[in-house]
Amino acid sequence: MDNDSNDGASGIGDLHQLDASNQHKAKLATVLNDNGALLSREKLVTAREDTAHMRENAAGLREEAAQLREGTATSREQEIRAAETIQSASDDQMIKLQQANAHLVVATIEAHKLAEQIEATKVQLDHLAHHDVLTGLPNRTLLQDRLSQAIEAACRQGRQLAVMYMDLDQFKHINDSLGHAVGDKLLQSVAQRLMDCARHSDTISRQGGDEFMALLPYIENAQGAALCARKMLAALALPHRIDQHELHISVSIGISIYPDDGRNAETQIKNADTAMYHAKESGRNNYKFFKQDMNDRAVQRQSIEVSLRRALERQEFVLHYQPKINLKSSAIIGVEALIRWQHPEQGLLLPEQFISIAEDCGLILPIGRWVLREACFHARSWQQAGLPPIIVAANISALEFRNKDFLNNILEVLEETGLEPRYLELELTESILMQDAGSTDSMLHALADLGIKLAIDDFGTGYSSLSYLRKFPINTLKIDQSFVNNMCSNPDDAAIVSAVINMGKSLKLCVIAEGIESSEQAAFLLVQHCDEGQGNYFGSPMEAGALATLLQVSVTLIPN
Amino acid sequence: METNHLQRHNIIKNRIAMNPDEDVDSALKLWEQMATEIISIVGESGFNSLYSRSIFLTQSTFPWVGARSKSQITEQRFAELKMDFEEQTPAQAREANCLLLITFTDILASLIGEQLTTTILNSAWGNNASGKTSKEFKNE
C-alpha cells in the first residue's frame, strides 16, 4: 500500500527505483539465481552425497545380503553335513546292531549245541555207569539194582524168581591163543545169543570177563529156569564165526531160586555163583541148581585156591610116574608124569582135586612149566645114572598150549635139563587140537620138527576131525580109560577100542591103552594088536626114586 | 505260545502249498527271501549259524539234507540245497523243505520270540499266506 501513495513524485524515482529494483531484482535474481544455483549445487551435492550414502548403504545391504546368503549356504552345508553325519552314525549303529545280533545268535546256537552235548554226555555217562561197554548189556550194578527190586516185588506178590550165573568154559584159551580182539567179538556174539534166549522182562548182564548173569523175575517154578538154561546151552552150542575162525564155546550155569536159596540179592548171586562152579566141576557145558551143601564145597575150593598160590613157592608139588609098557615085550618104554600135591593139611591130593581150580585162576601156567621142567630133569637124571633111556610124557593143558610162550618154554626146559627132545612126549586132548586147527597145526609141526613126540590123550571122548588127524604130526593115540574099563564086559566099548586100534594102525600111529587094571584087559588089547598099555595092572604111579629103582632092576615089567 | 507256534507252522505250510507245481526254484525262493530279511538283522554269520543248526536237526529225519557239504556262502548253500531237493522225489523234497523251514523258524522264534519271527516271515514272503494269521496276532 505504501508504494501507491508515492506514485507521481516518485515516478522517475519509481523508475529508478524500479530499475534499481529491477536491477536489484536482477541482482537479487542473480544473487538469488546464484544462491539458487548454489543451493541447487548444494542440494545436488547433498543429493549426490545422499546417493552416495544410499549407494554405500545399498552396497552395505548387498554385502549383508551376500553375507546372509553365505550364511545360509554355510548353514545348509552344515545341515547337510549334520544329516550326513547322522546318517553315517545311524548306518554305523545298524552295522553294530547287526554284528551284535549275529554274535548273539551264534553264541546262543553254540550254547544250545553245548547244552545238547552236555545232555547227551550225561545220558552216555549214565548208560556207561550201568552198562557193559563191550556188549552193551546191563552191568553188575544195574543187575543188582534190578534184582533187589525184583526180590521186593516177588516178596510182596509171593512169587519165585531165578538168578543164573554163567561162566564160559575155557574162554581163557581163546583169549590167550587168538588174542583179545577175537575174544571180545566172541563175548559179543555170546551176549547176543543169550539175549535171544531171554524174554523182555528178563535181564541179561555181563559181570565182567567171561561171566554173565541172568535175572528171570517171572518164573512159575524152578523148571522154568531150567528150561531157560537149556535154551542158552543149546544156543551157545552152535559155532561162532569170528573173523576167519569158527569157534566153539560152551557155558556152565549155576541157578539160585528166590526165596529158597536166599532172601537178598547178594546171597542169590553168591549161591548162583557157587552152583556155577559145581556145574564146571561136573564137566562144564551144563547147569546146576544151588544146593546148600555146595556152599561147603565152595569154601573148600576157595581154600584150595589160596593154598595153591603158595604151593609152588613151598615146593609142595611132586611128580609121580606111571610106566608105559610095550604089550608084546612087557618092556617099559616110557612113563607118564602125573602131578600130586602134598597138601600140608589135606595130605596127598590128586590132580582132579586142584587142576581145574588152577586152570580157572591161571596158576596152571606156572604149574605146567614146573611139571615139564621136573619131568625133563628126572628123565635126564635117570639117563645120567646109566638107566635105559625112556620117554617121559607130560600132560599139556589148553591154556599152556595156546600160550604164546609155550614153544620157548619147552626149548628153555630142554636146554636147561639137557634132555634130548626125542625123549619128551606131550599129551594133548582132542579138544585142544581141534580148537583153531590152523594155529594148532603149525605149533604141532614146530614141536615135531624138534623131535618131540606128540600123543592124543583121552582119545575117543572128544571130537576129532579125521582129516586133521591125518594131517597133524601125531605119533600116538591114547585110548581113554573109560573104554578100556568096560571093554571086556561091554561089546560096544570093545568095538570102539578095536576100531581105534585099527584106525591108528591104518594111519601108522602107535596106539596105547590107558587104565588097564586086569590081565584080561591086557590080553584083549594084545589080541587087538594094541602097541602099548598103561595102568595099575602094570604099575601104579610112583615117585621118581621108586621108578629109578624099577628101571635099575629091570626094563621089563612083570605084572603082579 | 503254543497257538502262535502252530500258526507260524501253518504260514510255512501254506507258503509251500502255494507251490503246487513242485518247483524247486520256488521252494528255494522262500529261503532266499527269508535269508535277505534275516541277514539284514542278524548278519551273515548269524544266518549261517541258524541255518547250519537247522540242517543238523533236520538230518535226523532226512539224512540227505545238507549231506554233500557245509558251504558258508549263501549262494552256494542254497545251490547245494537245491541239488539235494532235485535228487529226491518232489513229495520228499517238499516234506524236507517244510521241516527245514519249520526247524529254522523254531530256532529263530526261540531266540527272538514268535511275534517278531512271524513279522519277519511276513516281510520276507508278503502277507498273502498269512493274512489271517496277522489279524489273529493283532487281536492278541
CB of A428 closer than 8 Å to CB of A448? no
| Predicted local confidence at residue B127, as pLDDT | 65
Closest chain A CA to residue B40: A98
User: Distance between CA A429 and CA A449 in Å, rounded?
Assistant: 20
- Of residues B105 and B4, the one with the higher pLDDT is B105
Which one-letter amino acid corresponds to residue B4? N
CATH of the domain at A148: 3.30.70.270
Q: Where are the beta strands (DSSP E) in A372-493?
A: 391-395, 424-429, 453-459, 476-479
Domain span including residue A81: 21-130
Cβ pair B53:A112 closer than 8 A:
yes
Would you give the DSSP letter of residue B23? Answer: -
Residues A152, A110 share a domain: no
Q: Which of A130, A157, A188 is the last residue of a domain?
A: A130
With beta carbons under 8 A apart, name residues in chain B contacting A108: 111
Q: How far is A87 from chain B (nearest CA, A)?
A: 17
A77 sits in which H/E element: helix A11-130
Q: Which amino acid is at B13?
A: K
Residue A39, chain B, CB below 8 Å: the answer is no
Alpha-carbon dihedral sign for residues A188, A190, A193, A194: negative
Mean pLDDT for all residues in chain B: 83
Structure confidence at residue B19 as a pLDDT band (50, 70, 90): confident
Determine, yes or no, domain membership for B5. no
Instruction: Please give, rounded to a whole number of angstroms, the shortest distance from the CA of A81 to a CA of chain B.
Output: 26
Segment A81-86 mean pLDDT: 86
Contacts of A113 in chain B (CB under 8 A): 53
Residue A241 touches partner B, C-beta closer than 8 Å = no
A171 and A92 in a common domain: no
R_g over Cα of chain A: 61
Q: Which residue among B46, B52, B107 places its CB closest to the CB of A101?
A: B46
Q: Is the residue at B60 inside a domain?
A: yes
Kindly tell me the sign of the dihedral angle through the C-alpha atoms of A397, A403, A407, A411: negative
What is the predicted pLDDT for the residue at B126? 84
Give me the number of domains chain A comprises: 3
Chain A residues with beta carbon closer than 8 angstroms to that of B47:
105
- Interface check A527 vs B, CB under 8 A: no
Tell whether B59 is covered by a domain: yes
Please tell me the distance in Å from B48's CA to the nearest CA on chain A.
Answer: 8
The amino acid occupying position A534 is: Q
Q: Are residues A397 and A519 in the same domain?
A: yes
CB-CB under 8 Å, A101 with B40: no
B-chain CB neighbours of A102 within 8 Å are 42-46, 49
CA atoms within 13 A on the CB side of A266: 0
At A347, which CATH number? 3.20.20.450
Are A255 and A323 in a shared domain? no
Mean pLDDT, residues A238-244 taken together: 90
Instruction: Name the least confident of A193-207, A282-296, A537-551, B13-27.
Output: B13-27
Q: Between chains, do A105 and B40 touch, taking CB under 8 Å as contact?
A: no
What pLDDT is recorded for position A402? 85
Q: What's the number of domains chain B is made of?
A: 1
Q: Do both A235 and A352 map to the same domain?
A: no
A contacts of B41 (beta carbons < 8 Å): 98, 101
Find out whether the peptide bond into A491 is cis, omega within 30 degrees of 0. no
Q: Where does residue A133 rank: exposed (0-12), middle (13-18), buried (19+ CB within 10 A)?
A: exposed
DSSP-derived 3-state class of residue B49: helix
Tell me what pLDDT residue B139 has: 39
Partners of residue B40 in chain A, C-beta under 8 Å: 98
Nearest residue to A170 via CA among A190, A150, A140, A146:
A190
Closest chain A residue to B37, measured at CA: A98
How far apart CA B104 and CA B113 sit, in angstroms, is: 13
Contacts with A98 from chain B: Cβ below 8 Å: 40-43
Domain assignment present for residue A6? The answer is no
Say how far apart CA A258 and CA A149 lie, in whole Å: 13
Work out the pLDDT band at A52, boundaries 50, 70, 90: confident
Q: Are residue A69 and residue A206 in the same domain, yes or no? A: no
pLDDT tens-digit map of A352-395: 889 988 887 888 999 999 999 999 999 999 999 999 999 999 99
On whether both A44 and A106 belong to a single domain, the answer is: yes
pLDDT for res A223: 92
**Rounded-to-integer distance, Cα A545 and Cα A388, Å:** 15
Quick check: is A135 in a domain?
no
Q: A117-164 pLDDT, tens per residue? A: 999 999 999 999 999 999 999 999 999 999 999 999 999 999 999 999
The three-state secondary structure class of A335 is strand
**Domain hosting residue B95, numbered range:** 12-135
Residues A277 and A340 in one domain: no
Nearest to B43 among A98, A110, A113 (CB): A98
pLDDT of residue A6: 46
Contact B42 A108 (CB under 8 A): no
Is residue B140 in some structural domain? no
pLDDT tens digits for range A399-410: 899 888 999 999
φ, ψ for residue A96 (rounded to 5)?
A: -65, -40
Contact B53 A109 (CB under 8 A): yes
Inspect the interface and report whether the beta carbons of A105 and B50 lie closer than 8 Å.
yes
- Same structural domain, A313 and A408: yes
Reported as a single tens digit per residue, the pLDDT across A512-533 is 999 999 999 999 999 999 999 9
Residue numbers in A near B50 (CB within 8 A): 105, 109
pLDDT of residue A439: 81
Find the residue in B nearest to A94 (Cα): B41
* pLDDT tens per residue, range B23-41: 788 888 999 999 999 999 9
Q: Cβ contacts of residue A503 below 8 Å, gap of 6+?
A: A477
Report the first-to-last Cα separation within chain B, whole angstroms. 11
What's the CA gap between A442 and A472, in Å, rounded?
9
> Cβ B111–A105 below 8 Å, yes or no?
yes
Residue B46 to residue A112, Cβ atoms within 8 A? no
Pairing of strands A240-242, A245-247: antiparallel
Q: Does A114 touch chain B (CB under 8 A)?
A: no
Can you tell me the distance from the alpha carbon of B104 to that of B53, in angstroms, rounded to the nearest whole number?
A: 8
Give the per-residue pLDDT at A8: 45
Q: Answer whether residue A296 is part of any domain.
A: no
Residues A452 and A506 in one domain: yes
Phi and psi (nearest 5°) for A389? Answer: -65, 130
Distance to chain B for A433, nearest Cα, Å = 50
A204 strand-pairing partners: A214
Residues of B with CB under 8 A from a CB of A: 40-47, 49-50, 52-53, 107, 111
A98 in reach of chain B (CB within 8 A) = yes
Q: Please check whether residue A372 lies inside any domain of the structure.
A: yes
CA-to-CA distance for A80 and A46, rounded, in angstroms?
49
Question: How far, in Å, are A213, A225, A257, A417 from residue A254 at the CA level?
Answer: 9, 10, 10, 45
The C-alpha cell of A248 is what?
566153539
**Which of A290, A318, A337 delimits the end of a domain?**
A290
When mean pLDDT is compared across A64-68, A235-239, A403-407, B49-53, the lowest value belongs to A64-68
Q: Is the Cβ pair B44, A102 closer than 8 Å? A: yes
Nearest to B43 among A102, A108, A109 (CB): A102
CA gap B40, B45 in Å, rounded: 11
Grid cell 548387498 in the structure block, residue? A62
User: Of the candidates A65, A98, A130, which is a domain's last residue?
Assistant: A130
Report how many Cβ contacts below 8 Å link chain A to chain B.
40
Q: What angle do CA A412, A417, A423 make, to 5 degrees?
A: 95
Shortest Cα–Cα distance, A122 to chain B (Å): 20
Tell me what pLDDT residue B140 has: 35
What are the tens digits of pLDDT across the range B64-93? 998 876 666 666 778 889 999 999 998 899
Pairwise CA distance, residues A165 & A210, whole Å: 11
CA-based nearest residue in chain A for residue B107 = A109
Task: Say yes or no: A481 and A382 in one domain.
Answer: yes
Each as own residue / partner, the long-range contacts of residues A118-125 (CB below 8 Å, 24 or more positions apart, any chain) are none
CA dist., res. A201 & res. A198, Å (int): 8
pLDDT at B114 (0 to 100): 92
Q: Using the predicted structure, report yes or no on whether residue A218 has a pLDDT greater than 60.
A: yes
pLDDT value at position A28?
59
A15 assigned to some structural domain: no
Are A278 and A408 found together in one domain? Answer: no
Q: Closest Cα of chain A to B43: distance in Å?
A: 5
The answer as to whether A13 is a domain residue is no
Lowest pLDDT segment from A220-224, A297-301, B85-89: A297-301
A106–B49 CB contact, under 8 Å: yes
Q: Whole-number mean pLDDT of chain A?
A: 87
Residue A14 host element (H or E): helix A11-130
Does residue A4 lie in a domain region? Answer: no
Distance CA A465, CA A438 (A): 13
Q: Does A12 reside within a domain?
A: no
- Predicted ipTM? 0.79
